[in-house]
Amino acid sequence: MSQLKDPIREGIAGGWKVSGGALGPVAEKIVCDVAIIGSGAGAGITAELLARAGLQVLIVEEGPLKSSRDFNQKESEAYPSLYQESAARKTQDKAINILQGRCVGGSTTVNWTSSFRTPATTLKFWQDKFGLNDYSVEALAPYFAQAELRLNITPWLAAPNENNDLLRRGAARLGIPAATISRNVRACWNIGSCGLGCPTNAKQSMLVTTIPAALDMGAQLLTETRAERFEFANGKVRALICRSVKPNGALAHAERAQAAIKIIAKHYVLAGGAINSPAVLLRSGAPDPHGRLGTRTFLHPVVMSSSVFAQKVEAWSGAPQSIYTDHFLDTQAIDGPMGYKLEAPPLHPVIFASTVPGFGQGQHELLSSFPHNHTLLALLRDGFHDQAPGGRVLLRGDDSAVLDYPLTDYVMDGGRRALLSMMEIQFAAGAKQVFPLHEMAQPYTSWAQAREAVKALPMKPRLIKVVSAHVMGGCGLAGTERQGVSRPDGVHWQLDNLSIHDGSLFPTSIGANPQLSVYGAVNRLAQGLAKRLTGRDVTLA
Amino acid sequence: MRRRTLLKLGATSAAVLLVAGGAAALLQPGLEGGALSSAGREVFAAIGRAILDKSVPAEDGPRQIALNGLLGRVDALVQALPPHAQGELSQLLSLLASTAGRRTLAGLNPPWPEASVAEIQQALQGMRLSSLALRQQAYAALHDISTAAYFSDEASWSILAYPGPLKI
């Protein structure tokens, strides 16, 4: 357990209005100015700005409030407490495993800190195809700059760890440009456990920045409380109905035995993240005249290549993802064959062992290589081509959300090319062996052998290992009602006291790790909302 | 609400049950109270020794301790899963624990406790590369749960030469 100062525990001791779960029962009826669903990237930025405008803000979070004293770098505690579905959320056909946060701070509490502004090519596509004329590099620049200042987003200046330097060296030997990633950290200890909650409060997640700022200004936080559905009347949201949940997401008491928590607000902000935000609207029977709700949900499907080096790599140690290359995004048309971004993820025992394919002797040999293992991942840029329309959020019989995401041949072609690119870089960096994560692959000891083998592998769902940590879309922004769920100002096209302020707004994937895209876009939307509701101009501290 | 999930998996695996004239109502659930039932334990004990064959100790005594430890960790992992995932896993284990399900879904003839490591590994390989989504999904669930559970505990980290968390 971290012995460092814990700003969250201090805040609670100092009188923050926090309830739910272990923090005490939630009132059955709450009246406020603005109810925000979620506490991640979009919710955090919105909460701070609206509280700064003098509004009474209520934040509703399904996950628990955990903080640095709880963050002990153990996957066995982090996954069940901080991630959706205990880090085992899957698409409907179980071909893609999805990592998404479910705790105060949302995915920002557990992400790997990679920060990129929305690429210019992505914004251009939104302007051209979705009528989002205000979404230009120039128009968004000041909002990105404010978020970067607030969250200390700067290029990582320390030397990359060996895991990332291998990407840099391998790419350089092939003449492929690679660059340093900006990170949202302050006085980072370079430990490498960002994905398990930052034990030193160095990561400038929503948990330690905007949410505490909002609570200091009198905002109220409900934890372990699920936003179940909205009630509507006359084209407006009339109430938000919530329920207390157990740590695994089950209702805390049988529905009949549990009084609903009813929240009445002047305005509602849905920021539960992609998959969950559309699901709240689906459960509510929200108007959806053009059948857009939950569709075009994107994942940046990730394929991976594992490799073994003679020297120690210790991919668990040091800042994760400090080097990247966009070579395979920049060298082809955005709507041509699928492009991909390459990064070097951190590895910890559970995520490594469960990702290593196979069993018995072969699995054991790969497991034993752990300290020498270097894995690259490719984020496939979905949403820019007819054959990459993303997935659709559905409700199961128990009203929980599930994403149906077909892995089309077009996407899988990108996956194959990405495996080839990653393996070539790994051999160029000096790998003794590479192993593309596919159930029919073998360890390969030369680039020629690996290339021929991967060209012949069937690129089929569940044979190739696909994961995602970037869920986007489902409540897409569009300049016309026919094309999307949300107006360019973030307000729902059919419900004018409901705004959507999270990654579910994006009409395509981003083509980069999305956290800063959420911060920048929502910073502008929330400033606009504050002005509309109060007449006041506010900015992030 | 649980019923729809059951029916869906039931429909997919209807052929499995029809083959041996089984009936879902007669099967023992794979999970009880959010932990492995005796049927579920039997399946995971066998799956664990096949998947982790070279990663658990070779000698009988320590091997048994390691595999018992695995079952405890699977219980902890299962408890953290949301209700829909527990429901699906319970039904999967229930099917696998039945004779008909073991033979058709896993492709394994001898009962789980009597099957050799080689026989179970052969069955797993058949599921892994099967053209049936349900068999592939079953393989992935068994593989991911047993390895994630086993390596969630520091007792297993020496195999990975992983030093564990830093003291802060």
Q: Chain A neighbours among B 83-112 (CB < 8 Å)?
A: 83-86
Cα separation, A96 vs A462, whole angstroms? 8
Q: What is the pLDDT of residue A304?
A: 98
pLDDT at A218 over 90: yes
Contacts of B106 by beta carbon, 8 Å cutoff, 6+ apart: B96, B123, B124, B126, B127, B138
Q: What is the pLDDT of residue B5?
A: 46
Interchain pair A363, B54: CB under 8 A: yes
pLDDT (average), residues B110-139: 97
Query: pLDDT band for position A447 (50/70/90)?
Result: very high
Q: Chain A neighbours among B 42-71 (CB < 8 Å)?
A: 50-55
Q: How many contacts does A have with B, using Cβ atoms within 8 A?
A: 135
Percentage above 70 pLDDT, chain A: 99
Nearest to A367 among B76, B148, B159 (CB): B159
* Chain A interface includes B5 (CB < 8 A): yes
pLDDT at A392 over 90: yes
- CA-based radius of gyration for chain A: 22
Q: Chain B neighbours among A 300-329 (CB < 8 Å)?
A: 316
Query: pLDDT band for position A253 (50/70/90)?
Result: confident
Roughly how many angstroms between the first and final C-alpha of chain B, as a whole number?
A: 45
* Chain B interface includes A442 (CB < 8 A): no
List pLDDT tens digits, range A222-241: 999 999 999 999 999 999 99
List pLDDT tens digits, range B33-78: 999 999 999 999 999 999 999 999 999 999 999 999 999 999 999 9
CB A475 within 8 A of CB A273: no
Structure tokens at A371: 């300290």
Place of tokens 């209702």: A251
Interchain pair A93, B133: CB under 8 A: yes
Distance from CA of B23 to the nearest CA of A (A): 22
Q: Is B65 contained in some domain?
A: yes
pLDDT at B8 over 80: no
> Which of A298, A223, A229 is closest to A472 using CA atoms?
A298
**Chain B residues closer than 8 Å to A356 by CB:** 147
List pLDDT tens digits, range A115-147: 999 999 999 999 999 999 999 999 999 999 999
User: Structural domain of residue B41, as residue ranges?
Assistant: 31-154
Q: What is the pLDDT of residue B1?
A: 36
Nearest to A439 among B80, B129, B152 (CB): B129
Q: Is B118 contained in some domain?
A: yes
Nearest to B143 among A199, A359, A371 (CB): A359
Q: Is B91 contained in some domain?
A: yes
Q: What is the pLDDT of residue A258?
A: 72
Interchain pair A248, B81: CB under 8 A: yes
Report CA dihedral (A409, A413, A418, A420) to the nearest 10 degrees.
130
**Chain B residues closer than 8 Å to A463 by CB:** 129, 136
Cα separation, A298 vs A510, whole angstroms? 9
Q: What is the pLDDT of residue B7?
A: 42
pLDDT (average), residues A515-523: 98
Residue of A331 and B23 predicted with greater confidence:
A331
Q: What is the DSSP letter of A276?
A: H
Dihedral sign computed on CA atoms, order A121, A123, A124, A129: positive
Interchain pair B159, A368: CB under 8 A: yes
> Which of B99, B88, B64 is closest to B140 using CA atoms?
B88
Q: What is the pLDDT of residue A259?
A: 79
CB A152 within 8 A of CB A184: yes
* Chain A interface includes B19 (CB < 8 A): no
CB A263 within 8 A of CB A239: yes
- For residue A445, the tally of other CB atoms under 10 A from its CB is 14
Q: Chain B neighbours among A 185-214 (CB < 8 Å)?
A: 189, 191, 193, 199-200
Strand segments, DSSP code E, in A141-208 are 153-155, 179-180, 182-184
CB A342 within 8 A of CB A167: yes
Q: What is the pLDDT of residue B27?
A: 82
CB A429 within 8 A of CB A447: no
H or E element at residue A417: helix A409-428
| Domain covering A7-151+204-296+470-534 assigned CATH 1.10.10.10 in the classification | no
Interchain pair A397, B150: CB under 8 A: no
Interchain pair B151, A354: CB under 8 A: yes
List pLDDT tens digits, range B135-147: 999 999 999 999 9
pLDDT (average), residues B159-164: 96
What is the pLDDT of chain A when averaged over all its residues?
97
Interchain pair B151, A4: CB under 8 A: no
Contacts of A431 by beta carbon, 8 Å cutoff, 6+ apart: A307, A308, A309, A374
Residue of A252 and A282 predicted with greater confidence:
A282
Query: pLDDT band for position B2 (50/70/90)?
Result: very low
Interchain pair B160, A367: CB under 8 A: yes
pLDDT at B16 over 60: no
Interchain pair A359, B121: CB under 8 A: yes
**Chain B residues closer than 8 Å to A396 by CB:** 4-5, 84
pLDDT (average), residues A325-343: 96
Q: Is B12 contained in some domain?
A: no
Q: What is the pLDDT of residue A3?
A: 78
Distance from CA of A349 to the nearest CA of B (A): 6
Q: Is B93 contained in some domain?
A: yes
Mutant choice from B91, B142, B151 vs A, greatest count of A C-beta within 10 A:
B151
A155-193+302-381+408-460 CATH pick, 3.50.40, 3.30.1490, 3.40.1350, 3.30.410:
3.30.410
**Chain B residues closer than 8 Å to A354 by CB:** 143-144, 147-148, 151
* Domain locations in chain A as residue ranges: 7-151+204-296+470-534, 155-193+302-381+408-460
* Chain B interface includes A254 (CB < 8 A): no
Mutant choice from A359, A361, A440, A442 vs B, greatest count of B C-beta within 10 A:
A359
Q: Is B150 contained in some domain?
A: yes
* Chain B interface includes A396 (CB < 8 A): yes
**Chain A residues closer than 8 Å to B79 by CB:** 248
When divided into structural domains, chain B yields a total of 1
Distance from CA of B1 to the nearest CA of A (A): 5
Interchain pair B82, A76: CB under 8 A: no
Distance from CA of A353 to the nearest CA of B (A): 6
Q: What is the pLDDT of residue A521?
A: 98
pLDDT (average), residues B94-105: 95
